[in-house]
A and B are shown apart, each in its own frame.
Chain A
Amino acid sequence: MTTAPVITGIGVIAPTGLGAEAHWSATLSGTRAIDTIRRFESGYYPVRVAGEARNFVATGNVPGRLIPQTDHWTHMALVATDMALADAGVDPSALPEYEMGVVTASSAGGVEFGQREIQELWSKGPRHVGAYQSIAWFYAATTGQISIRYGMRGPCGVVVAEQAGALESLAQARRVLEDGARLVVSGGTEAPFSPYGLTCQISNGLMSTQGDPALAYRPFDTGANGYVAGEGGAILIVEDAASARARGAEKVYGVIAGHAATFDPAPATGRPPALRRAVELALAEAGLAPGDVDVVFADAAGTPELDRAEAEVIAAVFGAHGVPVTAPKTMTGRLYAGGPSLDVATALLAMRDSVLPPTVGVAELVPDYEIDLVRDEPRPCRVRSALIIARGYGGFNAALVLRAPNSTATGGDR
């Protein structure tokens, strides 16, 4: 048996703030960080609002050599990794290099970098495409740069599963620990805002075209009209519990107690989505009954059909109004691969401080959604375990159960 993996460090780059504490305090106060897109001229696009991490600055925070060599998405992950390692009190140079791995998630890759080079190609010719295009755009670029920068030469990888990706990265981190690694840098970030990047997303038909930031993203509301995208995410340090103890880790935020991934049947089959099975399998693996779960962090897709499917699953598993449900991503937008890792970070902070962060912008809950949505104000609540739900475009479902470090439940040991 391997002891359940623990999360010992958090690094956040998000529209709500830089660093876990800034993000957490903005989240508790219900600060919506969605606004008109400023990263490029977005006035001609049908989607005009987003959650941008505007306080993020690469210069001075990212090694100078890596700024022109990597995408904005990698810049954010490198800074978040610095934060997470410092938070965990880990000095990577003091640990065996082959026992540290890196598993991140990515959905868009280095799309802004790629667009710049494609523009060079069509406007000036092939000799003007930079050599770094070969390594900067692709999904594993961030994992690779983190591995090189911190000398982490153990198992590395990247998971591409749209918004479900970051939960899958934690599941893969857990497998890597079971195979003998002692520490994994996991989670993910996303930087989806360039004209090309946004255009690719718009094609899914699920984004909100509402230009008023206050009305654009209202999951579970009678006025739900699509989702808003955001940038950033969270990097998490995941360790084998025994290894963390052995190195004298000062804090343990929580335990990864259960996980499951399912994939929806093809629409033509008429079979229902597989989200419920993911939730039930994750709870079963954690050894928890629905009544043991103190909060659900919803996927909150923001379109009526997807919201209904999720509300029905939550009500079916936990009972009508049976568990508090929240979606702090209403303040940041959906961060794709970075989103669920930010939800995990937020859930761990909720555990630490015994308070549930609110969902903002929901004025009128759809009457027959039988969910207890935490709205507008934080709610004091002891959090011993939390369920994070994530769905990725194209049929990905993921569910992750976190348990408080001092909880007496035994789930998660395998």
Chain B
Amino acid sequence: MKELTLDDLRSLMRLSAGEDESIDLDGDIIDTTFKDLAYDSLAVLEMASRLERDWGVIVPDEVAATLETPRAVLDYVNERAAVN
């Protein structure tokens, strides 16, 4: 399965919850927390549900809540995609 890249995640984040004019998602965000990116818990849930739909990786709601940065999401998804 294709690896989930940061750019994939960026476009998924935009689709999930839109883009805040004050935050540059194209910047160096890989270790920025979703909280600092103004993605609240609902936005992260929406992102997790799109990951399942579009990338076939199930991210349970309780796990989604523990994935605090884009890097954590990429690692979680790509580890599981590699196993599949």
Contact = CB atoms under 8 A, between A and B. Distances in A.
A222 to B, nearest CB: 50
B20 A131 contact: no
26 contacts: A63-B20, A63-B21, A64-B19, A64-B20, A65-B17, A65-B18, A65-B19, A65-B20, A66-B18, A68-B15, A68-B16, A68-B18, A69-B17, A127-B49, A127-B52, A127-B53, A128-B53, A130-B49, A131-B42, A131-B43, A131-B45, A131-B46, A132-B17, A132-B46, A134-B42, A135-B42
Secondary structure class of chain B's binding surface, majority of residues: helix
Contacts of B72: none
A278 to B, nearest CB: 41
Interface in B29-66: 38, 42-43, 45-46, 49, 52-53
Given A65-B38, A68-B15, 9 more contacts: A64-B21, A65-B18, A68-B16, A127-B49, A131-B42, A131-B43, A132-B17, A132-B42, A134-B42
Contacts of A67: 18
Interface in A105-158: 127-128, 130-132, 134-135
Nearest to B41: A131
A64 B49 contact: no
Contacts of A65: 17-20, 38
Contacts of A63: 18, 20-21
A131 B20 CA distance: 18
Nearest to A129: B49
A367 to B, nearest CB: 56
Most buried by A among B18, B20, B21: B18
A176 B15 CA distance: 38
A131 B18 contact: no
Interface in A55-91: 63-69
Interface of B: 15-21, 38, 42-43, 45-46, 49, 52-53
A366 to B, nearest CB: 51
Nearest to B42: A131
B22 to A, nearest CB: 9
Interface residues of A, number: 14
A65 B43 CA distance: 10
A67 B42 CA distance: 15
Contacts of A135: 42
B19 A131 contact: no
Contacts of B43: 131
Contacts of B16: 68
Contacts of B19: 64-65
Nearest to B38: A65
B18 to A, nearest CB: 4
B44 to A, nearest CB: 9
Contacts of A127: 49, 52-53
Nearest to A135: B42
Given A127-B49, A127-B52, A128-B53, A64 B42 contact: no
A67 B46 CA distance: 15
A64 B21 CA distance: 6
Given A64-B18, A64-B21, A65-B18, A131 B49 contact: yes
Nearest to A128: B53
Contacts of A134: 42
Contacts of B38: 65
A68 to B, nearest CB: 5
Contacts of B21: 63-64
A134 B43 CA distance: 12
Contacts of A128: 53
A365 to B, nearest CB: 50
A130 B53 CA distance: 11
A128 B45 CA distance: 12
A287 B56 CA distance: 68
Contacts of B45: 131
Contacts of B49: 127, 130-131
Given A127-B52, A127-B53, A131-B49, A68 B17 contact: yes
A68 B13 CA distance: 11
Contacts of A68: 15-18
Closest 5 A/B residue pairs (Cβ): A131-B46, A65-B18, A64-B19, A68-B18, A131-B45
A146 to B, nearest CB: 17
Contacts of A66: 18
A69 B53 contact: no
Interface in A222-276: none
Nearest to B44: A131
A310 to B, nearest CB: 44
